[in-house]
Structure 1
Amino acid sequence: MTEGSSNLSHIDESGNARMVNVGSKGVTDRVAVARCELHMLQPTIDLIQSGGFDKGDVLGVARVAGIMAGKRTSELIPLCHPLNIDQITIDFEDLSD
Structure 2
Amino acid sequence: MTNPLTHINAQGEANMVDVTEKAVTQRTATAEGFIYLSQAALDAITNQTNAKGDVLATARIAGIQAAKQTSQLIPLCHPLALSKVAINFDIDADNQRIHITSMCKLAGKTGVEMEALTACSVAALTLFDMCKAVDPLMRIDGIRVLTKQGGKSGDWSTS
* TM-score using structure 1 length: 0.86
* TM-score using structure 2 length: 0.55
Helix, strand or coil for the counterpart of 1:53? coil
Q: 1:22 aligns with which of 19, 39, 62?
A: 19
Find the structure with the greater CA-based Rg.
Answer: 1
CA distance in 2, matches of 1:63, 1:89: 8
CA distance in 1, matches of 2:24, 2:48: 43
More strand by share: 2
Aligned to 1:59: 56
Opposite residue 22 of structure 2, the aligned amino acid is K
Helix, strand or coil for the counterpart of 1:10? coil
Q: Which has the higher contact order (CA 8 A, sep 6+)?
A: 2
Q: Which structure 2 residue ranges, 5 or more long, are not aligned?
A: 95-159
Helix, strand or coil for the counterpart of 1:37? strand
Q: 1:48 aligns with which of 28, 45, 50?
A: 45
Aligned to 2:67: 70
Helix, strand or coil for the counterpart of 1:19? coil
Aligned length: 94
Helix, strand or coil for the counterpart of 1:38? strand
Q: 2:91 aligns with which of 84, 91, 94?
A: 94
**Runs of 4+ off more than 4 Å:** none
Identity of aligned residues (%): 45
Helix, strand or coil for the counterpart of 2:50? coil
